[in-house]
Amino acid sequence: MSCTTTGIGIDARGIGWAAKGNRWLIEDISFSLRPGERLAIVGPNGAGKTTLLRCLYRGLKPRLGTVALDGADIWQMSATEVARCVAVVLQESPAAFPFSVRDIVFMGRIPWRRGKAHWSQIDREQTEHALEHLGLTSLAQRRFATLSGGEQQRVLVARALAQEPRLLILDEPSNHLDIRHQLEILDLLKGLGITIITTLHDLNLAADFATSVLIMHDGRMLASGRPEAVLTSEMVSNAFGVTAQLSQPGSEAASRFTFSLNSHSGD
């Protein structure tokens, strides 16, 4: 992606969503990020993390609350305007279609295309740059469907970067990745300098990656703030229903959680 891209501020206020006639799946979620900050959303399965993400990129219209990018309500912006600011990497993948890796990454340029014009020189450059950034140049001709889960994940991140987003939203980006690729991809995302919101199941990765963490439980916000303030043994134990212990093996080593089942569970 372009090295000149900068992050954007996001302000989410009182977000609530429910399917028609059903219970609230998420309720009263508020947070704000300054340009370049990184938020990790954590919480147990079914807590509402993906539903919240969908409200943030216009995938779902919140029934309550607002989402603003640098002060502009995303529902007052056109879909193209939002797509020029916000890129999304979801868990589902376009594996069923016979596209090459390069074709998929080119799709990130669609919001920048004028009408039915051919790809521009900038589109080509951004696509090649994104492929290179994710170490995918040698796989560019391969059919997407023939790649491993981890390679596919990297292609979807490359597609998002080709879009030149100022806010990148990711649902479990480290899914399918081995530990080296997990660390590499989070390191690469950190280095972009843009605003990032991601769900992460691995709390240790979340603590290393994020400038702030939002813990969700049962559709609500249990806590949010700096990772060291929010990811405490007590909070994590409450949210996940396990015993979480924080270890601090040495002053220069980051704190790490170890987990065990509560003594009354699993009988």
Question: Which ranges of the chain would DSSP assign to H, the alpha helix?
Answer: 49-56, 79-85, 101-106, 121-133, 149-162, 179-191, 203-209, 227-230, 233-240
Nearer to ligand ATP, 7 or 43 (CB): 43
Q: Is 61 exposed, middle or buried (0-12, 13-18, 19+ CB in 10 A)?
A: exposed
25 near ligand ATP, judged by CB under 6 A: yes
7 near ligand ATP, judged by CB under 6 A: no
Tell me the C-alpha distance between 178 and 41, whole Å. 21
> Beta partners for 170?
89, 198
Tell me the C-alpha distance between 190 and 107, whole Å. 23
> Beta partners for 220?
217
In the complex, what is the shortest distance from the CB of residue 198 to ligand ATP, in angstroms, rounded to a whole number? 12
Name which position in 1, 51, 88, 165 contacts ligand ATP (CB under 6 A).
51
Nearer to ligand ATP, 158 or 216 (CB): 216
Name which position in 2, 14, 46, 146 contacts ligand ATP (CB under 6 A).
46
Nearer to ligand ATP, 54 or 102 (CB): 54
In the complex, what is the shortest distance from the CB of residue 163 to ligand ATP, in angstroms, rounded to a whole number? 23
241 near ligand ATP, judged by CB under 6 A: no
In the complex, what is the shortest distance from the CB of residue 76 to ligand ATP, in angstroms, rounded to a whole number? 24
Give me the 147-186 binding string for ligand ATP, x by CB under 6 A, dash otherwise: ----------------------------------------
45 near ligand ATP, judged by CB under 6 A: yes
In the complex, what is the shortest distance from the CB of residue 44 to ligand ATP, in angstroms, rounded to a whole number? 7
47 near ligand ATP, judged by CB under 6 A: yes
What lies within 8 Å, CB to CB, of 66 at 6+ separation is 11, 12, 13, 14, 15, 73, 75
| 31, 42, 236 from 226: Cα distances, Å | 12, 13, 14
In the complex, what is the shortest distance from the CB of residue 26 to ligand ATP, in angstroms, rounded to a whole number? 7
Name which position in 12, 15, 38, 49 contacts ligand ATP (CB under 6 A).
49
200 near ligand ATP, judged by CB under 6 A: no
In the complex, what is the shortest distance from the CB of residue 85 to ligand ATP, in angstroms, rounded to a whole number? 23
In the complex, what is the shortest distance from the CB of residue 49 to ligand ATP, in angstroms, rounded to a whole number? 4
What lies within 8 Å, CB to CB, of 205 at 6+ separation is 174, 182, 186
SS3 state at 54:
helix
User: How many residues of this chain bind ligand ATP (CB under 6 A)?
Assistant: 10
Helix-helix angle 121-133:149-162, to 10 degrees: 140
Q: Which residues bind ligand ATP (CB under 6 A)?
A: 19, 25, 43, 45-51
